[in-house]
């Protein structure tokens, strides 16, 4: 019951917000505040519903240190994607032709803020967190990562390989990030930094959603296994390798900090909750 209430509440905000942003897509200066407003509204709705359904403090979106944690995640996301682009450029697959569009980048700021926030609330804040209580961290990471990848099959230029790549490099990595930090701010920042770097800075296709107009006027060419083809660099083996490496780092941190939930403990938590109820 709590899963459905939390999930539907965030989905409702995401749908309304995405429609509003889409309606003003031609005006970057309207898309930016609407996107940010959608992100903020989704966080408030998530916190309100979780507080009511679980009767606890919603520590995963606590205000203290939120800005610094978002910034930290964004720096990791931008740095990771820049490293991928540099590798693709090194083999001649990424070409910069000049400056791109500032207004395009501004519009993407709002869109990416809304998308990163709502997706993290849904997939890590609701789905991963609740599945983890029942199955433990590793199984929850696997299951929710697969679901996250499958969701991307709905994109215009989606492919099965793209969905598999997203599941591994993003679904697993972002769940591991949440497990390591036990807050949603760092995964939100990482997700936003990654997406904005792709579309808003390097102007490449993001998850099979068509061309982006960012700060650089650029194109990709070459083998799809290296550039990602129509799906974008997220379908590149370079990105897959970077995502796996970061997933391992986050899971090592989660283990070191005692944040991993084993299967037997998860079952115990579930049984204890049922007894109290």
Q: What would the pLDDT profile of 140-154 be if each residue is shown by its tens digit?
A: 999 999 999 999 998
Residues 6+ apart with CB under 8 A from 269: 133, 261
As a whole number of angstroms, the distance between CA 271 and CA 97 comes to 60
Query: Between the CA of residue 141 and those of 175, 176, 261, what are the distances in Å?
Result: 6, 7, 11
> What pLDDT shows up at residue 268?
52
At residue 117, the 3 state secondary structure works out as helix
Intra-chain end-to-end CA distance of the chain, in Å: 14
At residue 217, the 3 state secondary structure works out as strand
Q: How do the domains of the chain map onto residue ranges?
A: 65-276
As a whole number of angstroms, the distance between CA 42 and CA 34 comes to 12
Q: What would the pLDDT profile of 106-161 be if each residue is shown by its tens digit?
A: 999 999 999 999 999 999 999 999 999 999 999 999 999 999 999 999 888 889 99
Q: What would the pLDDT profile of 149-202 be if each residue is shown by its tens digit?
A: 999 998 888 899 999 999 999 999 999 999 999 999 999 999 999 999 999 999
Q: Angle at Cα 219 formed by Cα 18 and Cα 187, nearest 5°? A: 45
As a whole number of angstroms, the distance between CA 39 and CA 31 comes to 12
pLDDT-derived band at 265 (thresholds 50, 70, 90) equals low
> What pLDDT shows up at residue 10?
87
What average pLDDT does the segment 40-65 reach? 94
Q: Output the DSSP codes for 249-268.
A: HHHHHHHHTT----HHHHHH
Question: What tokens were used for 93?
Answer: 């697959």
Give the predicted TM-score (pTM) of the model: 0.92
> What pLDDT shows up at residue 1?
63
Phi, psi of 163 (to 5 degrees): -65, -40
Contact 107, 230 (CB under 8 A): no
């Amino acid at each position: 019951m709590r899963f459905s209430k939390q999930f539907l509440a965030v989905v409702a905000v995401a749908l309304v917000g995405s429609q509003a942003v889409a309606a003003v897509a031609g005006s970057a200066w309207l898309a930016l505040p609407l996107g940010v407003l959608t992100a903020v509204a989704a966080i408030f709705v998530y916190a309100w519903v979780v507080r009511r359904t679980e009767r606890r403090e919603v520590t995963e979106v606590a205000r203290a240190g939120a800005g610094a944690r978002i910034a930290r995640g964004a720096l990791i996301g931008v740095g990771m994607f820049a490293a991928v682009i540099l590798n693709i450029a090194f083999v001649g697959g990424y070409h910069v032709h000049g400056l791109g569009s500032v207004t395009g980048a501004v519009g993407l700021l709002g869109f990416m803020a809304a998308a990163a926030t709502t997706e993290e609330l849904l997939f890590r804040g609701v789905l991963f967190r609740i599945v983890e209580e029942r199955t433990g961290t590793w199984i929850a990471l696997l299951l929710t990562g697969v679901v996250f990848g499958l969701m991307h099959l709905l994109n215009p230029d989606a492919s099965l390989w793209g969905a598999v790549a997203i599941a591994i490099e993003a679904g697993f990595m972002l769940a591991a990030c949440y497990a390591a930090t036990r807050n949603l701010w760092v995964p939100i920042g990482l997700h936003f930094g990654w997406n904005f770097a792709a579309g808003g800075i390097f102007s490449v296709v993001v998850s099979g959603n068509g061309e982006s107009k960012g700060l650089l006027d650029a194109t990709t060419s070459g083998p799809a296994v290296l550039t990602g083809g129509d799906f974008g660099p997220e379908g590149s083996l370079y990105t897959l390798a970077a995502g796996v490496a970061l997933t391992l780092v986050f899971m090592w941190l989660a283990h070191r900090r005692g944040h991993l939930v084993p299967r037997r403990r998860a079952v115990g938590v579930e049984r204890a909750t049922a007894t109290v109820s």
